[in-house]
Amino acid sequence: MLKADKATVDWDRGKKQWQVRVQIGEEVIKRPLAKTPQDATDDTLRSKALEEAKEEGYEVDLARVAIVR
C-alpha cells in the first residue's frame, strides 16, 4: 500500500455532502463520503477518510487528516 501525504475532508455545499481529498505528491484523488450527515463528528469523518483512502490503495497517517468545517 502506498503512503499518501495527507487527506482533507470538507463539506461540498453544492452537492450537500462530505468530500475527501487524498493527496499523493502532486496527485489528488477526490471522493464523496456518501450518506455521511453534515453534523458528523470529526472522529467519524477521519475514520471514513482513512477507509476511502484504503479502498483506493493508499495509507494515510491519522494525524495527517484535516477536517474543514
CA-nearest of 35, 11, 12, 32 to 22 is: 32
pLDDT confidence of residue 20: 98
Asked if residue 63 is part of any domain, the answer here is no
Asked if residue 64 is part of any domain, the answer here is no
Distance in angstroms (rounded) separating the CA atoms of residues 28 and 7: 9
Asked if residue 44 is part of any domain, the answer here is no
Asked if residue 2 is part of any domain, the answer here is yes
Q: How many structural domains compose the chain?
A: 1
Domain containing residue 3: 1-28
Distance in angstroms (rounded) separating the CA atoms of residues 48 and 57: 14
Asked if residue 48 is part of any domain, the answer here is no
pLDDT digit of tens for each residue in the chain (69 aa)? 899 999 999 999 999 999 999 999 999 999 999 899 999 999 999 999 999 999 999 999 999 999 999
Residue 66 belongs to what H/E stretch?
A: strand 65-68
